[in-house]
Amino acid sequence: MTLRINDVAPDFKAETTKGPINFHEWIGDGWAILFSHPKDFTPVCTTELGYMARIEPEFTKRNARLIGLSVDPVDSHQRWLGDIEETQGAKVNYPIIADRDLAVSKLYNMLPAEETGTSEGRTPVTNQTVRTVFVIGPDKRIKMMLAYPMTTGRNFDEILRVIDSIQMTAKHRVATPANWKQGEDVIIASSVSDEEAKKLFPGGWKTVKPYLRVVGQPR
């Protein structure tokens, strides 16, 4: 199944380092960041999960929960958590899914090789998950997807930036330009007429082109 933005995120049941979960129930009425890593006890993954542990409070501020995933078993995850805390200086408090049967990996297209539907001919490499990230909204729909090669650690600050943009769009009917950061000017959404914009942004805006109207970030 090919997933696209605005598709309903597939629901599933899974074992995690925090016990069994039903994914949609676990999300509740907030946001979720589901991210996979290729394998426990590997260098890039160790830095990634440690960094996510350090910035988890930033996701909490945005009503977003973190959940990791790899095909390793729970006991492997639990043993690895000690290494993450020792080397990265942060304790992982979010759950990590043990996707031993590849069920979630298949649902979310997280595998690096074409899935045959059987284990025959597969190797430890093809069973590893790529570095994927799914941002899922309270409506259980996919808001963003990212996939990185196994050798490249992800920029998780970008995930925070995207959540800020999406949440602001939903509240204020604006879009964010390239490389936007918190506090910078934004763009009035194309769906907003000038008449509507006068009510939404009484302080006015800068019209660069009729289709490009720049305004200060709403508060």
- N-to-C CA span, the chain: 39
Q: Which CATH superfamily is domain 13-153 in?
A: Glutaredoxin (3.40.30.10)
The CATH superfamily holding the domain 173-215 is: Antioxidant, Horf6; Chain A, domain2 (3.30.1020.10)
Q: Contact at 8 Å (CB) between 52 and 76? A: no
pLDDT value at residue 156: 95
Task: Look at residue 115 and tell me whether its pLDDT is greater than 70.
Answer: no
Instruction: Confirm if 33 and 65 have CB atoms less than 8 A apart.
Output: yes
Contact between residue 3 and residue 110 where contact means Cβ atoms under 8 Å apart: no
**pLDDT value of residue 121:** 55
Domain extents in the chain: 13-153, 173-215
- Each residue's pLDDT tens digit, 42-63: 999 999 999 999 999 999 999 9
- The pLDDT tens digits for 49-105 are 999 999 999 999 999 999 999 999 999 999 999 999 999 999 999 999 999 999 999
Is the predicted pLDDT of residue 124 greater than 90, yes or no?
A: no
Q: What is the pLDDT of residue 111?
A: 87
Number of other CB atoms surrounding residue 35 within 10 Å: 25
Which sign, positive or negative, has the C-alpha torsion 104, 69, 13, 10? negative
- What's the confidence (pLDDT) of residue 31? 98
Distance CA 187, CA 111 (A): 37
Q: The pTM is what?
A: 0.91
Contact criterion met (CB below 8 Å) for 52 and 156: yes
Positions marked catalytic: 45
Give pLDDT, residue 116. 53
pLDDT at 186: 98
pLDDT tens digits, 152-207:
999 999 999 999 999 999 899 999 999 999 999 999 999 999 999 999 999 999 99
- How many alpha carbons fall within 13 Å on the CB side of residue 128? 15
